[in-house]
Structures are given as C-alpha cells and as structure tokens.
Structure 1
Amino acid sequence: MESESTVTTCYRHPKVESYVRCTRCDRYICPDCMREAAVGHQCVECVKEGARSVRQARTVFGGRITVAPLVTYVLIGLNVLAYLGELVRPALVDRFEMLGAMLVGPDGGSYHWQASYPADFHAEGVVAGEWYRLLTGAFLHLPATEGTFGILHIVMNMMVLWNLGRVVEAQLGRVRYLALYLLSALGGSVLVLLISPEDHTVGASGAIFGLGAAYWVMARRLGGDMNSVNRFMAGLLLWLVISAWATSWEGHLGGLLAGGVVTLAYAYAPRDRRRDLVQAAACVGLLVLLAVLSVGKVTGLTG
C-alpha cells in the first residue's frame, strides 16, 4: 500500500502549493511571497521585521541621513509665498511684522509707547497680546519698493538660506534643523523686543544668522578646514556690523546667539541613548528662557 504524500501550501495563500521555506521563520512561501535574501528567500513579514530591526544610519549630530533638503525647500517656499501675499495685500506686513510696543492714535498714526495712554488710543504689538509677531515677522520681507534693499532683501536671504540650509540640514536631519531655524528666528525677535521694542522688523535674517553659527560649530565638531569657515564667519560678523545702520542688528545678533547655543547642544551631547534627551532638553530650555524674557519685558512695558 503506497503512502499519500502531504501537500504543503503557502502560509499566506493556503490554496497555492509551495515547497520552499522562508529561511528566517521556516514557513512555506509561494513565488508571490518570496523575497531575495542573502541566503535563500524570506517571506514578506520577515523582510518587514528585518527592516524595522536594522539600525538607521545617523550623522554625528544624531540626525537621520536624508537625500533631499526638504525642510529648506519648505522654508524657502513659505518665505516666497508670504512675499507674494505682501505684494497682493501690503497690509499683511503691518499686521504680522515683528513689533514689540506701539500706540495707535485715533487718526491712525503711530506714536511712541507709554504704559498709560488716553482711551482713544490703543496698543499694538506684542504688548497687545500679539505674541505671534515673534515668529511671523521672520517670514516677511521688505516690499519691493521700500527700504534700503527692497526686493534684494528676500533675494539675498533666500540665496543664503539655500546655500547654508542644505549643508546644515544634511548634518542635523530634518527635525533638529527645523528646531534650530525656528529657535534662531525666535531668538532674533526676542532680542529686538528686549532692546528696541518700538522697531518694526521683518526678515529671515535672524534665522539665517543662526544657521551661520550652526555651520561654524558643526565645522569645529567635525574637524573641518577652519580657515575657510573662519573667513565665512568673519564675513558674517562684518556684515552684522556694517548693516547695523540699515537693518536690525538686534535680530541678527539674537539669531546668531540662539543658533550657536542650540548647535552646541547638538554637537556635544553624549553619543549614547541620552543624546536625544539632552538635545531636546536644550531646545526646550532655550524656548522657556526666551518665553520668560519676553513675558518679563512685556510686563515691564505695561507697568
């Protein structure tokens, strides 16, 4: 009497005969479920599990390796869109520019800030609870026909953002890079609030100066050619001094300092499981400090 052979089927497709086993889980798999492996074939689930268990490559600063500078593209796009919005509706500049404290009279004119003012006047700026100005001003630029630079203001800023941003984002990864950019922009606005609360300021320069500081710190950490990097940094600082008569040096300096602090935390955090926590704590700590300084200044202005 002959014994009947057992028919084996694919574990994912029970109606399909199969005589090949997954080299990882030892289950039978059909041709549709086979994936090439170093030795033999693996099933779909084992391939996915293996991909999850593979450690993702990271930079010295903990960022994930990325191919395209997506965040830099998005930031440039937002700045350009905001600029187009200004051209269509110029009132957007007055509504969202960085302004710490100003009084608006019944005639619509702007007047110097004072804590006590007549009932027919009203406050404008951060002192009026418009806290969003601390960040929105960093995405606006001088209208094409105004100021010393006009349209060159956004053109120059976007060119520097394109050149610096791609380098910094590639090293930091998208999340760390975005945190650096926003904190640098915020740092510039806060220093404007602290020193020159009545100034009207716009532009991504504070954030870009933060990227400049990041570029210098990263080069030091990576052991790069500091001669060229130092020349770049000297030029950046020289521009900060020379442009002080026409631009907000407070915004530039604030962005530079904030960007330097954040990148120092990125660069010298322990290279173990504590790294992400230390880096996140540094960013949150700086954010809290900027918030406390802002609230303190507003409280002092409003009496």
Structure 2
Amino acid sequence: MESGLSRCYRHPDVETGIRCTRCEKPICPECMISASVGFQCPDCVRTGSGTGHAAGANQPRTIAGGRVAADGRFVTKILIGINLALFIAVLVAGDRLVDELALIGYAYSPALGEVVGVADGEYYRLLTSTVLHQEIPHFVFNMLGLWIIGGQVEPELGRRRFAFLCLISGLSGSTLAYLVAAPNQPSLGASGIVFGLIGAFAVLARRRRYDMRPVALFVGLALLLTFTREGISWEAHVGGLVGGALVTFALVHAPRERRRLVQYGSCVLILALDLGIVLARSAALV
C-alpha cells in the first residue's frame, strides 16, 4: 500500500516528507544537510547554492560517511592511469619487467638467474601484480571493469574509502593466489580489484534494498567465466571478491557514533589477516 510520501531523489527506495529548502527536491535523512533554515540537498550545497553554514560545516556525505565529490571517478581514473603507465612500460621493456613485478610465490627465474618470489622477500609483488598486464585483451577487459563498476561504487563510498577498498581487494586476491596456487605459477592483472568492486557493488545493492536477482545473476556469470576459461587465476578473483565484499560491508554498516573507528579498524583487521596468511605461506615455502 502506497504511503503517499515522495521518494528521495538520490535514493529512490527511501520515502521522505522532507524537501530541500532551495530546489524543493525530496531528500531522505541521509541526504539532509542542515542550513540556517531547514535542510538542503547535496547538489545545492555542492554547487554553492546553499548557505555558508551548510556549505562549510556540514558537507554532503555518502552512504559510508565519505564526502560527496564532484568527480565520482577521481580515484578510478588514477587507478586506470597507473595500469596504463605500467602497461606501456611492459610494452617497451618486455618480459623482463613482467618477471620482476608479477606475482610469483617462489621460483628460479632463468631471465634473472636467481631465485625470486614473495617467499624470498619480494613482498612488493603482491601489489605490483595487481596493476600489471601483458596482453591487450586482458588489459582492456580489466580497465573496462574498473571504469564501469568503479564508476558505480566510488560515488557511494567516497574517495578515501574507495581507495582502501581497491587496495584491500587487490591484496586479498594476491594473498589467496599466493596461498593456493603453485609457488612457481605467475599471476598478474587487476582482476582481483575488479572482483573486489563486484563484491562491493553487491553489498551496496543489498544495503540500498535493490532487487538482488539481477545482481546475483551478474556475480554468478562473473564467477562462471572465472572457472570455465583457461588461464584465469580464480584464486585472485575469489580472493578479491571476498575481500571487497567484507570491506564494503564494514564501511556501509558501521554505526554512526563510532563510524570511522569501526570502518578503518575493520580494514586493518582484513589487512592483518592477509599479512598473517602471507607470512605463514612464506614460512612453509622457504
């Protein structure tokens, strides 16, 4: 039965009886920004239409408590730029750069003439491998994933929290690959981050109370492709998916009174878990 209330212009699933005092668009409690008289919407505050009190002391916030930015793909663009720069470097330098930056647990590299890998102390490979590509189709597919899904997730979390999400997703994907894959099996690509964004998107859709059936279908198809295509590091995909979902759940469900403590504390706990797995695996390999 319909209540007759309007729905928030930013959150169509939320009914509200409050409107922006400037543009009169309906806004929910999450979008309300205190003004000298009544409340204003994030758009009016962002464009400077609001009062000095609203525009200064009360910044519009995302569902996770981050600041609403004019450019919702700022961090996404930086991440794609890093991937592009490294891809060009690989095209110029060739396989030598790939040998130095790809995720390898523990192996002898004929190209370098020495033992290499994370277990040999090259922990940077856990991160460099997440922005490293060697083939054009692989690069293009992952960049499209970052652009499309990142463009949906970043505005919902805010820049800083989105950056933490990408970092932990990539590291969690590398950690599971390091734990399960053969020590001498190389792995590279931003797929762990992309699947972390997929996990984040699913959590956000559930938090917004959207219809989860198309979301579940999307996640299911992504996993189906993961396990049916040859040459795919399913470990990085699954690790990124789980890591991204856990981080996002903590970000959007943290209580308001201790929001930052719970959010960043959860990120630190997941990072500590990844580190513990990496150290235990290294001890087993050496």
Q: Tell me the TM-score normalized by structure 2.
A: 0.78
Give the drift of 1:74: 0.4
Structure having the higher Rg: 1
- Aligned with 1:199 (options 162, 165, 185): 185
**CA offset digits 1:65-101 (Å, max 9, x no partner):** 1121100000011101100000111121111111111
Matching of residues 235-254 of structure 1 within 5 Å: 235-243=221-229, 245-254=230-239
Residue of structure 2 equivalent to 1:140: 132
**Matching residue's letter, 2:145:** V
DSSP-derived class of the 2:281 partner: helix
**Matching residue's letter, 2:83:** N
Contact persistence 1:192–1:199 (CA under 8 A): no
DSSP-derived class of the 1:274 partner: helix
CA separation in 2, counterparts of 1:171 and 1:49? 25
DSSP-derived class of the 2:252 partner: helix
- Aligned with 2:243 (options 240, 258, 281): 258
DSSP-derived class of the 1:273 partner: helix
Matching of residues 1-303 of structure 1 within 5 Å: 50=53, 54-68=57-71, 69-90=73-94, 91-104=96-109, 108=110, 122-142=114-134, 150-196=135-181, 197-243=183-229, 245-270=230-255, 272-302=256-286
**CA offset digits 1:166-203 (Å, max 9, x no partner):** 11000000011010001010001111111113210110
**Matching residue's letter, 1:57:** P
Residue of structure 2 equivalent to 1:13: none
Residue of structure 2 equivalent to 1:115: none
Give the drift of 1:51: 6.4
**Higher mean Cα deviation, 191-200 or 280-289?**
191-200
**Matching residue's letter, 2:57:** V
Give the drift of 1:205: 0.2
Change (3 A) 1:158 1:124: same
Give the drift of 1:267: 2.0
CA separation in 2, counterparts of 1:237 and 1:79? 23
Contact persistence 1:97–1:140 (CA under 8 A): yes
CA separation in 1, counterparts of 2:77 and 2:211? 27
**Matching residue's letter, 1:202:** L
**CA offset digits 1:262-285 (Å, max 9, x no partner):** 111112111x23011101000000
**Matching residue's letter, 1:70:** F
Over the residues paired in the alignment, what is the CA RMSD in angstroms? 2.2
Give the drift of 1:127: 1.5
CA separation in 1, counterparts of 2:56 and 2:130? 41
Question: Could you list the runs of 5+ residues in structure 1 that have no partner in the other structure?
Answer: 1-37, 40-47, 111-120, 143-149
Give the drift of 1:123: 2.1
**CA offset digits 1:139-163 (Å, max 9, x no partner):** 1112xxxxxxx31100011011100
